[in-house]
Chains A and B, each alone.
Chain A
């Protein structure tokens, strides 16, 4: 399990968890060798080498810190972006396939909110398409006709594909190494509740799969 961000913030050089020692075994070994071999060096030289190693370790720790923070945001929560003016980025996204299995189509949904909690965090984006696919993996590379709803804030105006409008959503080929289903919607327009169109430069979404 990755450390929590607050834990990462508290990291100090040489005060690393066991996983760091294990994954950076060669670096630790180098420090040990330097310390042992340095017994014949001058104190200044030894101090200089130690400082240098210390710096290297700090840089490594900082890099790890950055990796850990990025890992917390990107692979776990997904992301979505709708190219309005200015673009609106959503730092979480989900992909769900609901198979009903009684002869009617299933529904693929990309959401910028937790699908178990509904569109109650904002900005809220819903991309919804009927499909006959029975698994997320089977959706890779497909293009589906989707309804889109986007609301920037609670009680705010909604942009959508309208009552009967559908737009193609292109799903990226399935990548088994990723925990997301990625998709794009090309540049076009959405309409407001009065039917007035708003141009969008497209939508990209990387929705975390269950």
Chain B
């Protein structure tokens, strides 16, 4: 059986009740101690689980709840969709096994009304910018369509004929009252009471759907036509009202999430003035912070702003649907066409301000530092800078960090010489070890394809078989919800599980976390079971880098190498796909926490597309069972693999 393709128009082109209450986007934006930060990160991962997975394809697509009512509405609609699918499947089996007389007309009638009302409400959900609506519309359309032959089959039985006749009579009897209702509803519209009008009309719609499908197409016209004409007066203005409410929620959320580089620069200047004068600063209500502690506070602000940039990107995608509509342009309320997405330049500007702040903080600190304090503070700075360089543009951060640290080192010539010689004594070794690791990794790539390519090649539509990518590899199309999410994952899940794949940019979420996050690439990201570099290799690395318990690394690069090995952060991990999860791009990024935003390197955003609506754009999260890990300085096979 061919599965239903997600359609673009409702059967009746209707919209419904209004949600007047709008709440602000509820997002985790914490600038807190590292321990709380970690807790948020873990929590965010649990939130992500609210999507269909290969373990449980029935889970609904998550909602971002920018309009607060969206979450409960989406869950309620999924519950209906699941129940009606179950009923329809059972009824189809009954029809095949026992014939049409065994069908239950009351339930057929009730579910038809419920399904079509759920469909209308899924359209309301869509105006809230919720991509789960795409999945729901697809599923509800499918079941509504599958109900029709069941009803028709029953109507072909003697009892069904009698029921049809009785329903026709009932409709004729109800019609005068309905006509008055329509007049009343149109009066509400005149009075701009569109929400009340739509609510009243939806009630009639349910009753209408419960009955008219039991009579012929021609016979139903006298009853359906006035209903449809009334809807045409209510739904378009109601759609615009709902869009305006949602749009305000999106714009408010963008305003509260978009980071302000000028504010960051002012914050840094205030801290730097204090450091310059006394070597200490009061920042964010915390007194007597040292220079490295101020730098740590900067890193957290940087991360929060970076998370904000990702959320803003997702919000803009949803807002763009409000403006452009879907690819048919049906729901567009503004001008379509390509646009320059400002999210990337905003993320870049935020990043530039943060990188500049590194120099501002360290050079200010250098002005007041005592020579005896240089070694300890230098090492503390190295730790913060090493972490920063793992999260963003490593080369630039190390370059700017080293430039700034030079002013600090100049205050202690003996230590300066030590640090300079340490850097020279370890740099070339790391360069060669890194090149060797890349050489091995490149060789392994023949066996372990890049994760996004592996997902794409195993998620193509094949004939009647659902998928996320078009059948033609050349088509410029990204992961798209062409079919219901559960059906899609049921088909592609078994193809993906067990496949070898290579993931890049692997960051462990916390020192105690059992999972690491994998950088988002094109339309794929993931998690990897945390695996540590075996002790002998770690010991050798420390020996190579002249490090022991009393001799810490004295360069950013060496600190990053050792800290990342101890933490379990890697350049790449190869392994087999253990599971997959389907997510909407819009929801993924609007809902991303600051902690989870490590899946996108700081200073960047993930590209959307202007070739198709973002509303049905999907991402795949894969869980990878690691076989080998590529640290900056070497490749290690996971023991036992």
Q: Which residues of B contact A109 (CB under 8 A)?
A: 425, 428
Q: Are A163 and B428 in contact (CB under 8 A)?
A: no
Q: Which residues of B contact A158 (CB under 8 A)?
A: 432, 435-436, 439
Interchain CA distance A104-B425 in the complex, whole Å: 12
For the side of the interface on A, what is the size category? 20 to 34
Given contacts A104-B548, A118-B431, A126-B429, contact A96 B440 (CB under 8 A): no
Candidates A100, A115, A118, A119; contact of B422 at CB < 8 Å = A100
Give the Cβ gap from A77 to chain B, nearest Cβ, in Å: 18
Question: Which residues 111-142 in A have Cβ within 8 Å of B in the complex?
Answer: 111, 115, 118-119, 126, 128, 130
From A195, which residue of chain B is reached at the shortest CB distance?
A: B440
A160 located at the interface, meaning its Cβ lies under 8 Å from any Cβ of chain B in the complex: yes
From A164, which residue of chain B is reached at the shortest CB distance?
A: B540
Q: Are B429 and A128 in contact (CB under 8 A)?
A: yes
Q: Which residues of B contact A163 (CB under 8 A)?
A: 537, 540, 634
Given contacts A118-B431, A160-B432, A163-B634, contact A106 B425 (CB under 8 A): yes
Question: Which residues 155-183 in A have Cβ within 8 Å of B in the complex?
Answer: 157-158, 160, 163-164
A194 located at the interface, meaning its Cβ lies under 8 Å from any Cβ of chain B in the complex: yes
From B424, which residue of chain A is reached at the shortest CB distance?
A: A98
Give the Cβ gap from B492 to chain A, nearest Cβ, in Å: 34
Q: Are A151 and B428 in contact (CB under 8 A)?
A: no
From A149, which residue of chain B is reached at the shortest CB distance?
A: B432
B427 located at the interface, meaning its Cβ lies under 8 Å from any Cβ of chain A in the complex: yes
Task: Pick from B418, B436, B440, B540 the residue with the most CB of A within 10 Å.
Answer: B436
Q: Are B424 and A115 in contact (CB under 8 A)?
A: yes
Give the Cβ gap from A53 to chain B, nearest Cβ, in Å: 54
B330 located at the interface, meaning its Cβ lies under 8 Å from any Cβ of chain A in the complex: no
Given contacts A104-B551, A105-B546, A158-B439, contact A98 B422 (CB under 8 A): yes
Candidates B414, B432, B537; contact of A119 at CB < 8 Å = B432
Q: Are B424 and A193 in contact (CB under 8 A)?
A: no
B417 located at the interface, meaning its Cβ lies under 8 Å from any Cβ of chain A in the complex: yes
From A162, which residue of chain B is reached at the shortest CB distance?
A: B436
From A108, which residue of chain B is reached at the shortest CB distance?
A: B425
Give the Cβ gap from B261 to chain A, nearest Cβ, in Å: 33
Residue-wise, chain B 405-431 has the 8 Å CB interface mask toward A (1 for contact) of: 000000000100110011011111101
Q: Which residues of B contact A8 (CB under 8 A)?
A: none
Q: Which residues of A contact B435 (CB under 8 A)?
A: 151, 158
Task: Count residues of B near A (Cβ-Cβ below 8 Å).
Answer: 27
B512 located at the interface, meaning its Cβ lies under 8 Å from any Cβ of chain A in the complex: no
A40 located at the interface, meaning its Cβ lies under 8 Å from any Cβ of chain B in the complex: no
Interchain CA distance A57-B519 in the complex, whole Å: 72
A86 located at the interface, meaning its Cβ lies under 8 Å from any Cβ of chain B in the complex: no
Candidates B427, B436, B554; contact of A160 at CB < 8 Å = B436
Given contacts A107-B425, A193-B439, A194-B443, contact A100 B418 (CB under 8 A): yes
A17 located at the interface, meaning its Cβ lies under 8 Å from any Cβ of chain B in the complex: no
A102 located at the interface, meaning its Cβ lies under 8 Å from any Cβ of chain B in the complex: yes
Residue-wise, chain B 434-464 has the 8 Å CB interface mask toward A (1 for contact) of: 0110011001000000000000000000000
B33 located at the interface, meaning its Cβ lies under 8 Å from any Cβ of chain A in the complex: no
SS of B interface (majority): helix
Candidates B414, B418, B428, B436; contact of A128 at CB < 8 Å = B428
Q: Which residues of A contact B548 (CB under 8 A)?
A: 104
Q: Are B421 and A98 in contact (CB under 8 A)?
A: yes
Q: Are A193 and B429 in contact (CB under 8 A)?
A: no
Interchain CA distance A181-B436 in the complex, whole Å: 28
Interchain CA distance A118-B429 in the complex, whole Å: 10
B96 located at the interface, meaning its Cβ lies under 8 Å from any Cβ of chain A in the complex: no
Interchain CA distance A106-B421 in the complex, whole Å: 9
Q: Are A101 and B431 in contact (CB under 8 A)?
A: no
Candidates A119, A160, A164; contact of B431 at CB < 8 Å = A119
Q: Which residues of A contact B427 (CB under 8 A)?
A: 118
A147 located at the interface, meaning its Cβ lies under 8 Å from any Cβ of chain B in the complex: yes
Q: Which residues of A contact B537 (CB under 8 A)?
A: 163
Interchain CA distance A60-B408 in the complex, whole Å: 57
Q: Which residues of A contact B440 (CB under 8 A)?
A: 193-194
Interchain CA distance A98-B426 in the complex, whole Å: 10
Interchain CA distance A109-B423 in the complex, whole Å: 13
Interchain CA distance A107-B554 in the complex, whole Å: 14
A99 located at the interface, meaning its Cβ lies under 8 Å from any Cβ of chain B in the complex: yes
B335 located at the interface, meaning its Cβ lies under 8 Å from any Cβ of chain A in the complex: no
Candidates B431, B443, B546; contact of A100 at CB < 8 Å = B546
Q: Which residues of B contact A99 (CB under 8 A)?
A: 421
Give the Cβ gap from A95 to chain B, nearest Cβ, in Å: 13
B550 located at the interface, meaning its Cβ lies under 8 Å from any Cβ of chain A in the complex: yes
Q: Which residues of B contact A106 (CB under 8 A)?
A: 421, 425
Candidates A103, A128, A147; contact of B550 at CB < 8 Å = A103
Q: Are B425 and A101 in contact (CB under 8 A)?
A: no
Give the Cβ gap from B223 to chain A, nearest Cβ, in Å: 75
Interchain CA distance A129-B428 in the complex, whole Å: 12
Q: Which residues of B contact A115 (CB under 8 A)?
A: 424, 428
Residue-wise, chain B 539-556 has the 8 Å CB interface mask toward A (1 for contact) of: 010001010101100100
Q: Are B436 and A111 in contact (CB under 8 A)?
A: no
Interchain CA distance A109-B428 in the complex, whole Å: 9
Q: Which residues of B contact A193 (CB under 8 A)?
A: 436, 439-440, 443
Q: Which residues of B contact A128 (CB under 8 A)?
A: 428-429
Residue-wise, chain B 381-416 has the 8 Å CB interface mask toward A (1 for contact) of: 000000000000000000000000000000000100
Give the Cβ gap from B344 to chain A, nearest Cβ, in Å: 30
Interchain CA distance A163-B436 in the complex, whole Å: 10
Interchain CA distance A160-B434 in the complex, whole Å: 13
Give the Cβ gap from A192 to chain B, nearest Cβ, in Å: 8
Given contacts A105-B546, A163-B540, contact A98 B432 (CB under 8 A): no
Give the Cβ gap from A34 to chain B, nearest Cβ, in Å: 58
Given contacts A107-B546, A158-B435, A193-B440, contact A98 B540 (CB under 8 A): no
Question: Which residues 516-573 in B have Cβ within 8 Å of A in the complex?
Answer: 537, 540, 544, 546, 548, 550-551, 554
Interchain CA distance A164-B534 in the complex, whole Å: 14
Q: Are B546 and A157 in contact (CB under 8 A)?
A: no
Q: Which residues of B contact A100 (CB under 8 A)?
A: 418, 421-422, 425, 546, 554
Question: Which residues 54-112 in A have Cβ within 8 Å of B in the complex?
Answer: 96, 98-107, 109, 111
Give the Cβ gap from A119 to chain B, nearest Cβ, in Å: 6
6 nearest A-B residue pairs (beta carbon): A107-B425, A98-B425, A149-B432, A98-B421, A193-B439, A104-B551
Could you show 8 A-B contacts with beta carbons less than 8 Å apart?
Answer: A100-B546, A101-B421, A104-B548, A106-B421, A109-B428, A147-B429, A147-B544, A193-B436
Residues of B within 8 A of A (CB): 414, 417-418, 421-422, 424-429, 431-432, 435-436, 439-440, 443, 537, 540, 544, 546, 548, 550-551, 554, 634
Known: A128-B428, A130-B546, A194-B440. 17 other contacts (CB 8 A): A98-B425, A100-B425, A102-B418, A102-B551, A106-B421, A111-B428, A115-B424, A118-B427, A119-B428, A126-B432, A149-B429, A157-B439, A158-B432, A158-B435, A163-B540, A163-B634, A194-B443
